Amino acid sequence: MNPKIIGIAGGSASGKTTIVEQMKEQLGDAVLVIKQDAYYHPFDAMTLEERKLLNYDHPDAFDFEAMLQDMMLLKDGKPIDMPIYDYVFYTRKKETARIHPAPIILMEGLLTLWYEPIRELMDLKIFVDTDSDERLIRRIQRDMNRRGRSLESIIEQYQTTVKPMHEQFILPTKKYADLIIPEGAQNTRAMLIMKEHLKNLMREALNR
């Protein structure tokens, strides 16, 4: 097997996860999903209150070296012990997840296209481009319902870090994309193109 790595980047709540879930549903066990969020630095020397104040949309929040090493192992057909991130306590859990490679590896996150050594491993680079107002609404709904955060904290974080970091670091990575998907999974034509391309990559991965 020759695994193919597809990077899916885009702003917070742009629809990246929905795209990944649809591809996983359609291609089944041929798809492995790696979330960049798993590779946040643990910052375990800090208190919970200190960790809450950190800028999690800045490239410095991510352990790109660890991510690169794991992606290289998966690309070589070897398993990894992937970190598990705890969104409530803003740090990694003590346990890890044993992950085995698959023909298609979907790596999804804010800055998956930011680190050049990781980009060089990718067989396809995708950027999900969604209107900022729509992304804010989705983020509020997600963080309140799934991550136990208050409306005030979500809005404050969006204004102080999410929006400026999107403009400074995330949006510029769109230039590296092979495929740009406006409005995420709602763009049915782009989704169809992506689906067919992934099928071709899957055949290449299995026929090596």
Q: What is the CATH number of the domain that holds 10?
A: 3.40.50.300
pLDDT in tens, 158-191: 898 889 999 999 999 999 999 999 887 788 888 8
When the pLDDT of each residue in the chain is averaged and rounded to a whole number, the result is: 92
Q: Residues 167, 171, 175, 176: is their CA dihedral positive or negative?
A: positive
pLDDT in tens, 104-155: 999 999 999 999 999 999 999 999 998 888 888 888 998 888 777 889 988 9
When divided into structural domains, the chain yields a total of 1
Gyration radius (Cα) of the chain, Å = 17
21: containing domain: 4-206
How close are the terminal C-alpha atoms of the chain, in Å?
Answer: 6
Asked if 139 and 13 count as a contact pair (C-beta separation under 8 A), the reply is yes
pTM for this predicted structure? 0.88
Rounded distance between C-alpha atoms, residue 3 and residue 165, angstroms: 32
Tokens in use for 58? Answer: 């800045």
How far is residue 121 CA from its own chain's centroid? Answer: 15
